[in-house]
C-alpha cells in the first residue's frame, strides 16, 4: 500500500522536475564550479544552494543543491553517471534525490502516541512529504488512529528477552515495504547494533531531555530531583551508544519549583512532538549531513 494524500500528490506534481544533491568531500578549489558546470551541461538550473566548510585550508566541505530540469526524468541515469565521475575526482560522498520519487518512512511507536499523532497530522497536512509505509508498535494503542489514515499497522510485542526475534520480524517488514527512513516516535525499546547497522544514519529517535543531559530512562524524574529550570527534547540519529547519536534538532521550555514530575512530562510532550517532526522533515528534505557524530543542518 502507498500512503499518499492529496497535498503530497500536489507537491510531487509541482516539483516533478526537481532534484536535490548532497555532497561531502575534502575542501578544495573548484568543487562548486565543477558541479555547477555539470548541471548546466544537463540543462539544469540551480534553484537553491547552501554550503559549509569546517576549515577552508584543510577541512571538509558540505553542499546542498536543489536543481530543476525540464527533462529530469529522462536524463536521470546520465546525471547520476556524471556526478559519479566528479565524485571520484573530488573523493566525494554524495546522495541524489528526485522529488518525483517519494521516500518511504516507517514509524515505530509504543504506548505513548503523542509523537505518532503529530507525525500523522503533519503528514496529512502535507508538511511531511513522504510515504508512511507502515507503523510498527509493541502496543495496540495506536492502531485505530493509524488505520484511520489508511496506513498499515503491525503489532509486534517486544521485550529484551525476545529482542532478536522481534527485530527479525521488523526487518522483514521494512524490507518488504522498501523503507528509507525509520522514526522512533517514543518507541520504548533499545535497538540492537545489528539493527542499527542495517540503517546507518537513517533511524531518528526523540529523547525527552536536552541531550547530553539526562541520558537514558526517566529523564523527567531526574530533572525534577535536580531542580532544573529548563527541560528539553532532542531528535537525533540512532547509534550503538544509547542517546549519543548525532543531534538533529533540540528545543527547551521553562519550568519552575511548582512543577512536579508529571507536570514536566506534560510540558515535555509539547516540545517532543515538534522537535521530532522538525528532525524528520529536515531529513526527508535532504537538509542533514552527518560528520564526526555531529550534523550539518542546512536551512
Instruction: Identify the sign of the CA torsion 228, 230, 235, 236.
Output: negative
Clarify whether 243 is annotated catalytic: yes
Residue 52: count other Cβ atoms within 10 Å of its Cβ.
Answer: 16
Catalytic, out of 27, 112, 131, 243: 243
Residue of 230, 223, 280 whose CA lies nearest to 251 = 230
How many residues make up the chain in this entry? 299
Catalytic residues, which ones?
Answer: 243
Amino acid at each position: 500500500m502507498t500512503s499518499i494524500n492529496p497535498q503530497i500528490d500536489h507537491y510531487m506534481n509541482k516539483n516533478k522536475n526537481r532534484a536535490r544533491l548532497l555532497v561531502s568531500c575534502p575542501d578544495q578549489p573548484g568543487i562548486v564550479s565543477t558541479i555547477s558546470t555539470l548541471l548546466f551541461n544537463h540543462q539544469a538550473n540551480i534553484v537553491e544552494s547552501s554550503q559549509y566548510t569546517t576549515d577552508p585550508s584543510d577541512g571538509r566541505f558540505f553542499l546542498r543543491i536543489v536543481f530543476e530540469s525540464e527533462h529530469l526524468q529522462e536524463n536521470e541515469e546520465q546525471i547520476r553517471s556524471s556526478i559519479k565521475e566528479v565524485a571520484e575526482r573530488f573523493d566525494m560522498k554524495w546522495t541524489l534525490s528526485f522529488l518525483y520519487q517519494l521516500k518511504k518512512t516507517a514509524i515505530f511507536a509504543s504506548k505513548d502516541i503523542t509523537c505518532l499523532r503529530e507525525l500523522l497530522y503533519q503528514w496529512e497536512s502535507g508538511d511531511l512529504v513522504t510515504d508512511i509505509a507502515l507503523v510498527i508498535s509493541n502496543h495496540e494503542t495506536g492502531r485505530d488512529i493509524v488505520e484511520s489514515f489508511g496506513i498499515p499497522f503491525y503489532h509486534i510485542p517486544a521485550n529484551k528477552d525476545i529482542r532478536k526475534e522481534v527485530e527479525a520480524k521488523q526487518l522483514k517488514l521494512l524490507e518488504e515495504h522498501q523503507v528509507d527512513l525509520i522514526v522512533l516516535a517514543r518507541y520504548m525499546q533499545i535497538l540492537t547494533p545489528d539493527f542499527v547497522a542495517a540503517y546507518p544514519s537513517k533511524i531518528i529517535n526523540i529523547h525527552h531531555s536536552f541531550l547530553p543531559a539526562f541520558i537514558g530512562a526517566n529523564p523527567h524524574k531526574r530533572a525534577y530531583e535536580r531542580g532544573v529550570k529548563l527541560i528539553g527534547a532532542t531528535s537525533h540519529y540512532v547509534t550503538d551508544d544509547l542517546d549519543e547519536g548525532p543531534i538533529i534538532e533540540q528545543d527547551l521550555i521553562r519550568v519552575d519549583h511548582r512543577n512536579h514530575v508529571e507536570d514536566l512530562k506534560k510540558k515535555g510532550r509539547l516540545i517532543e512532538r515538534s522537535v521530532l517532526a522538525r528532525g524528520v522533515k529536515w531529513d526527508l528534505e535532504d537538509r542533514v549531513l552527518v560528520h564526526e557524530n555531529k550534523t550539518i543542518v542546512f536551512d
